[in-house]
Copies of this chain bind each other. A is one copy, B any other.
Amino acid sequence: MKKSLIRPCVVGLGYVGLPLFLKLQNKISTVGYDISDTRVKELKFFLDVNGEFKKKDLVLKKKSLITSDKNLLKFCNFFIVAVPTPISKKNIPDLSHLKKSCEIIGKVIVKNSIVFFESTVYPGVTENFCGRLLEKKSGLKLGVDFFVGYSPERINPGDKKHSIGKVVKIVSATNNNTLKVAKKIYKKVANKILTNKNIKEAESAKVIENIQRDLNIGLMNEVYKVCVNSKINFSNVIKLASTKWNFLKFDPGLVGGHCLPVDPYYFSNFAEKKGIKTEVILSGRKINNSMYLYMYNKIIKDIKNLKLNIKKSRILVLGLTYKKNVSDIRNSFALKLYRLLKKKIKYLEACDPFLTKKNIKNIKVLHNFNIDDYELILNFVNHDLFKNKILKIKKTNKKYLNLF
């Protein structure tokens, strides 16, 4: 495949695919494909409902295009798949989006095409699941007629510092030419490329990065609970521990979203098939999943200690998204906690400037608020946008609680 002939296509224009597509299409004519007509229409009208990109960022260059028309993929020969890999209700990896993507691509790929995957998976998915599906749908042979590779996304929504251009991009494929071509493409979006000839290693690396973070937060949640129950000041304990040269500062939290709450199950599921029952990995996830329930009980107790009445007091919650500075509410424990409290507290309202009616149903979400309207303000998600308001609150003697 000659350089001039590479025609890339990004499949899936969500939190991962969109930034990748936008960077790539600045440098080379690229097709951006999404299965959702609505998403495609919005993006064409320069609207990113996720709030990550502004109008000017969404202007297309180099004759690039955004489409939901599968037929246009025929003209592409380098696919980058960035679709969600969630879990089922029973915490089993749900590869249905990957499956759908492979079916779509399989029907259109031509000989010598390359298909890269960016979604977080367990080891073996790229070659054994996606590769086989592509073979089946295309009638072509993996490793002979077409090639696959894996390049784990390291997008951190809401984090401008570690954007795709600035972090190391792992690019893995088993064959040298595939690696060479992929490196050429990825060089257009990332400054630091690290190639690797074993795909399963790259798949494993990605998933354990998130597991490590999830577990460390899980540990802090557990220590937090013990401290609260024994009336020891958790923040002071951490301040003291942090003076040790090798102590790692992690904060307790309601770890939601679509990475940390999901990835441990991908790896532990895989491990179980290989005869290892993972206990460390799942222990962190278990406590993180249940933390909102612990916080629910704590808040109800705190409200009583503050001599407020859950039937009468007006209480405001700040932030409902899964983490700060994003508009994403998927797997948001702040939202779960709010819904739970709402059943108990009569006058409970929520403010989150990141949410529009579109993101959230059945909840009236304020975009702004008047401090004096509430007797207690609970900060669930510390959006930077709240900063000034919180400073103001702290200057009054208004009752105010941070979640942790």
Q: Contact residues of A with B, CB < 8 Å?
A: 123-124, 154, 162, 167-168, 170, 192, 194, 196, 198, 200-202, 204-206, 208-209, 211-213, 215-216, 218-219, 221-223, 225-227, 229-230, 232-233, 236-238, 240-241, 243-248, 267, 270-271, 274-276, 278-281, 283-284, 286-287
Contact = CB atoms under 8 A, between A and B. Distances in A.
Contacts of A237: 201, 204-205, 208
B281 A219 contact: yes
A228 to B, nearest CB: 9
Contact of A280 (B198, B200, B283): B283
Given A244-B167, A245-B162, A204 B222 contact: no
Question: A-side binding surface: helix, strand, loop or mixed?
Answer: helix
Given A212-B219, A218-B280, A233 B198 contact: yes
The count of identical subunits is: 2
A267 B223 CA distance: 9
Contacts of A236: 196, 198, 201
Contacts of A201: 232-233, 236-237, 240
A209 B283 CA distance: 19
B170 A281 contact: no
B283 A287 contact: no
A279 B274 contact: no
A213 to B, nearest CB: 7
Contacts of A213: 246
A275 to B, nearest CB: 6
Nearest to A231: B200
Nearest to A226: B271
B212 A248 contact: yes
Contacts of A243: 168, 170, 192, 194
Contacts of A202: 240
Contacts of A280: 215, 218-219, 221-222, 283-284, 287
Nearest to A272: B226
